[in-house]
Chain A
Amino acid sequence: MIKLQNVEKVYRTSSIETLALNNINLDVKKKEFISIMGPSGCGKSTLLNIMGLLDAPSKGQIEIDGSKVENYNDKDLAHLRNQKLGFIFQSFHLINDLSVIDNVEIPLLYRSSTAKQRRDLAQEALEKVGLSNRMKHFPKQLSGGQKQRVAIARAIVGKPEIILADEPTGNLDSVMGNEILGILQKLNEDGATIVMVTHDDAMAKKTHRLVRLFDGTQVM
């Protein structure tokens, strides 16, 4: 589903060159749930951004669901992100000025759909994460766990095949964290391919496979 070959990422300033990722080779199979672990600054988020086409590698090739993206322009990449990928972030990234249901609808604004279709799909996604009773609320009225559930609903509303989660439980207590992991596991059982960055060993153990990074290099 996601294939990375010899991926390297170098950040350059006028005086320093930092190797963030070094020769990463990774093949994430369809319906697989993998976790990426490693100390802070080892390149986990960079790897996730590259997988999510939010950042381009300095070297190497990326393949998403059979499509090689190296020659894709901004429009093609945006289309692929919209259709194939769903993102969940540690800090939720909800828009405070929009209600829960309007936040969930955001990915659908970038594809052709009617207002009714968007509303129906957003309601369906919110029902899946158990927040159908909070549709009209605003993010400031929600707890951390509820915010992350809204973010998950937003990630799955467009029915993407891949979900990329960057420390989705990082800002939550263990009870909430387990609840979120439970939702992700359920989504995986329903067919989604999930890549999750985490610091939590216990969470990582519950996934199918663990990828460890150290100083930008894949160690297992």
Chain B
Amino acid sequence: MLRHLFKLIWNKKGTHSLLIVEIWASFMVLFGVLSLIVYNVSNYVQPIGFQYEQVWNLDLAHNQDTIQEAEKIQRVLQRVRSYKEVESASRMSGNTPFSANQSSGGITYNKVEVHGDFYASDAELSKVLDLPLISGRWYRDEDMIAKFVPIVINSKMQEKLFLNETALNKVIKMDDNRYFKVVGVVDRFKAKGEFMSDEPLVFEMIGKDNKWNSNILIKTRPGTDAEFEAKMVKDIATMLPGWGIEVSYLKDSRLTRHNITLVPVMIFLIVSGFLLTNVALGLFGILNLNIARRKGEIGLRRAMGATEGKVTNQFLGEIWVLATFSMILGLIFAVQFPLMNVFDLASSVYVMAIILAIVIIYLIVTLCAWFPSKQAARIHPAVALHEE
């Protein structure tokens, strides 16, 4: 029967070409949207790697002040740490969690070069963000007097840069003057939020004399409110006249970051939903018309021994064959993405998106074909034969 259906559809390929193109286009759009969704969902289910609930970001801008900026930032840091509402505080580079800032570069070890994100912080960051280490330790103030700049990397960087070796105590040449020494490895740090993929990264220790990294992450005690924020900002403004002082909550920044990720996904979803609805309505209309045109054939098949169920299956089978033709065409394009490693995404993302797109297309065509097919089966054979 399947062979018969293939033959029937193949002989009518001209009539069905528009429908094939329509299903093909839907498959491609669905594949694109699903790749995006699968990518984001697979990232979302992986832990973010740090705590942000009670953490504030104090962003200091020295504006026109060019005198002793590093000392001034250090004094503010000491003041912040002295509040009873503050559990811990750490200086950090501008690419604080959930911010839009990014700092990246490549590092090389034994001719293996890995590109990753760079974060600069002092020794307190792991306490502020509750960053668990899987091996080694976080850098300490006394590490700064050592020959090499202490760094902490994540397990992704360890895996890519050192392959099967442990990263601890390995020295990496950064440039002519600077060498890094790995003192610890954290599991993951998805600074851009849950939807970020787990990428290789490096935490680099900064000294007290560093004037460029002027963000302070503050972990407050539970119950700390805006009243304390106002008091703290007022104190700092007194200490740093003319400086820009801005406080943001990481949990709010996280939601903003989520929106930035989710809005394009939602737009794609709406567009593809609209397209799929059109395809579904088109299919429904075409099938209804087809059945009206093929009443004689339905009557004939019933006369030749087809049951109602077989007529239903035939019409469903025809649409499945059409969908299969269209998706084979679509697959030729879709498989290029994992094969050519487009957008540097894992092959599993594309494979999952392809499988889901196939299931959804079959589901849509089945739903659209079900009612007209049942209608076709219910046509009385004598009436159908008489009407042609």
Chain A residues in the interface with B (C-beta under 8 A): 45-46, 49, 52, 54-55, 74-75, 78-79, 81-83, 85, 87, 89, 91, 93, 95, 97-99, 102, 105-107, 109-111, 115, 154
Q: Which residue of B lies closest to A111 (CB)?
A: B305
**Which of chain B's residues have a CB closer than 8 A to the CB of A45?**
386
Do A93 and B296 touch across chains, with their CB atoms under 8 A apart? yes
Once the chains are docked, how many angstroms separate the CA of A102 from the CA of B9? 13
Q: How far is the CB of A18 from chain B (nearest CB, A)?
A: 15
Q: How far is the CB of B224 from chain A (nearest CB, A)?
A: 75
A54-B385, A97-B12, A106-B300 known; A78 and B4 CB under 8 Å? no
Do B307 and A107 touch across chains, with their CB atoms under 8 A apart? no
Chain B residues in the interface with A (C-beta under 8 A): 1, 3-4, 7-8, 11-12, 296-297, 299-310, 380-382, 385-386, 388
Do B304 and A107 touch across chains, with their CB atoms under 8 A apart? yes
Do B385 and A93 touch across chains, with their CB atoms under 8 A apart? yes
**Which of chain B's residues have a CB closer than 8 A to the CB of A115?**
3
A97-B11, A102-B4 known; A91 and B388 CB under 8 Å? yes
Inter-chain pairs besides A98-B11, A154-B304, 5 sampled, C-beta below 8 Å? A46-B382, A49-B385, A91-B388, A93-B299, A111-B305
Do A78 and B305 touch across chains, with their CB atoms under 8 A apart? yes
Once the chains are docked, how many angstroms separate the CA of A154 from the CA of B301? 11
**Which of chain A's residues have a CB closer than 8 A to the CB of B303?**
52, 54, 81, 85, 87
Do B307 and A54 touch across chains, with their CB atoms under 8 A apart? no
Q: What are the 5 A-B residue pairs with the smallest beta carbon separation, nearest first?
A: A82-B305, A110-B305, A55-B382, A49-B382, A107-B304
Interface pairs (15), CB distance under 8 Å? A45-B386, A49-B382, A52-B303, A54-B302, A54-B385, A78-B307, A78-B310, A83-B305, A91-B296, A93-B300, A95-B297, A98-B8, A107-B304, A110-B304, A115-B3
Once the chains are docked, how many angstroms separate the CA of A102 from the CA of B297? 14
Q: Which residue of A lies closest to B13 (CB)?
A: A97
* Most chain B CB within a 10 A radius of its CB, from A74, A99, A115: A74
Q: How far is the CB of B387 from chain A (nearest CB, A)?
A: 11
Return the contact of B304 from the options A55, A75, A91, A106 (Cβ within 8 A): A106
